Structure 1
Amino acid sequence: MRKVLIVSDSHGSTEVLEEIASRHSKEVDLMIHCGDSELSEKDPAIVNYRAVKGNCDFYGNFPDQEVHDINGRKILVTHGHLYSVKSTLVNLYYKAEEEEADIVCFGHSHALSAEMVGDVLFINPGSIKLPRGRIEKTYVLLDLDRNKVVLRIFDYESGELPELTKEFSLHKKG
C-alpha cells in the first residue's frame, strides 16, 4: 500500500502547506500540489511537494503537468485551467487517456470532488485556503493498492472527515 497526499489552491498560504507536510510527510510516499500555490519553487513551504503550475502561479517555474508512477499506477497531475475543468472533464479525460493515466489530480475550481469517468479516477482535493461548495479547507490522503484506492478527506482545521471516505476500484490497463 502506498500513500499520496494531494493539496491544491493554497494561494500563498505557506503556514498551511508547512503544517500539512509536518502532519503527514512521514506517512506518505508522495506529496502533490495541484497548483496555485503562488510561491516560487524554491520557497521552503513547497519544496517537499511535487507541484504543477496554476493560473495564479506567476513566481514559480513549475511544469504545467507531471505524471507519477506509484505502485504500478500512473497519476497525472495538472491544475486544470488548461483543460476547462470548471465546465467539463472531457478535455482532461482525453489527456488522461493519452498519458495512460489511472488517476488524475487537479484543482482550479476549489471544489472537492472524486469520481470515476470511464476507468480513470478524477480527484480534486478542494482548496486549503479558499474552498468553494463547502466550508472545510480540504485536502486528500490517498491509500493506493494495486486494484483499489481509498480516498480519505481531511479538513485542515478539524482533521479527518471519515463520513467522506470513499473507495474506488481500479481496473488493469491494456
Structure 2
Amino acid sequence: MKVLIISDSHGLTDELVEIKKRHINEVEAIIHCGDSELNDGAEQIQDMLIVKGNCDFLGNFPNEIIETIGTYRFFITHGHLYSVKTTLMKLKYRAEEAQANIVCFGHSHIAGVELVDGTLFINPGSIFLPRMRNEKTYAILELMNGQAIVDFYNLHGEKISNLSTKFQFA
C-alpha cells in the first residue's frame, strides 16, 4: 500500500495537478497537510485528505483528520497548533490520544521522517518554499511486509535518495 503526502503548496495549482497525475495510479490515498491556500471546492485538491493550515483562509478544512487507510491509523494535521517548529512532543501526545500509527504534518517546510516509540512521523516538506534544503519536496509512504519505506521526491518526480528511509514497522 502506498500513500502520497504533500504539504505547504501555498497556492500552487499546476504543480499539485502534475504530482497527482504522476502518482494517482500507484497510491491508495493522497494526503495534503495544509497550507494549500485553496478553497475547499478547488479541483486540484479533490479526492485528497486535506487539513487546514495557518495560511488557509479560503477553505473550510478540518484542523485534523484521523483516518484508517489499509490497516493503519493516520493522524493528519498541519502542525501549527502543536508547535512542531520547536518540538514534536505535543504532536506525539495527540497521536497517542488518537491511537495513530502514522502522523503526517507540515508547517515547518522541513522534509523529514522519524520513528518515535512505534509511531511514524512524516513531514513531506514543501513544494513551494522548502527549508533546510534546496529541493521542493513531497513524500510517498509504502507499507508492506512489516516495513515502512518513505521516499522523498522533488517537484519533477525525481527520488531524493539521501532523504529516503526504511523502518521495521508492524
Q: How high is the TM-score relative to the length of structure 1?
A: 0.94
Instruction: Give the aligned partner of residue 93 of structure 2.
Output: 94
Superposition RMSD in Å: 1.1
Q: CA separation in 2, counterparts of 1:17 and 1:34?
A: 13
Instruction: Give the aligned partner of residue 134 of structure 1.
Output: 133
Q: CA separation in 2, counterparts of 1:164 and 1:38?
A: 27
CA deviations on 1:148-174 (whole Å, 9 max, x unpaired) are 211111001351123322111224xxx
Change (3 A) 1:29 1:91: same
Instruction: Please say if residues 71 and 145 of structure 1, whose CA atoms lie closer than 8 Å, have aligned partners that are also in contact.
Output: no
Q: CA separation in 2, counterparts of 1:112 and 1:80?
A: 13
Q: Does 1:41 align with 2:35?
A: no
What is the Cα deviation at residue 132 of structure 1?
A: 0.3
Instruction: Give the aligned partner of residue 59 of structure 2.
Output: 60
What is the Cα deviation at residue 117 of structure 1?
A: 1.4
What is the Cα deviation at residue 71 of structure 1?
A: 2.4
Change (3 A) 1:41 1:90: same
What is the Cα deviation at residue 147 of structure 1?
A: 2.3
Gaps of at least 5 residues in structure 2 are none
Instruction: Give the aligned partner of residue 159 of structure 2.
Output: 160
CA deviations on 1:44-86 (whole Å, 9 max, x unpaired) are 1111311100000000011111112122111110000000000
- Number of equivalences: 170
Change (3 A) 1:146 1:64: farther
Structure 1 runs of 4+ aligned residues shifted over 3 Å read none
Structure 1 residue matching 2:45: 3-state secondary structure: coil
Instruction: Please say if residues 112 and 163 of structure 2, whose CA atoms lie closer than 8 Å, have aligned partners that are also in contact.
Output: no
Gaps of at least 5 residues in structure 1 are none
Instruction: Give the aligned partner of residue 107 of structure 1.
Output: 106
Instruction: Give the aligned partner of residue 23 of structure 1.
Output: 22
Instruction: Give the aligned partner of residue 118 of structure 1.
Output: 117
Q: CA separation in 1, counterparts of 2:22 and 2:157?
A: 13
Residue identity in the other structure for 1:72? T
Q: CA separation in 2, counterparts of 1:65 and 1:147?
A: 27
Q: How high is the TM-score relative to the length of structure 2?
A: 0.96
What is the Cα deviation at residue 10 of structure 1?
A: 0.1
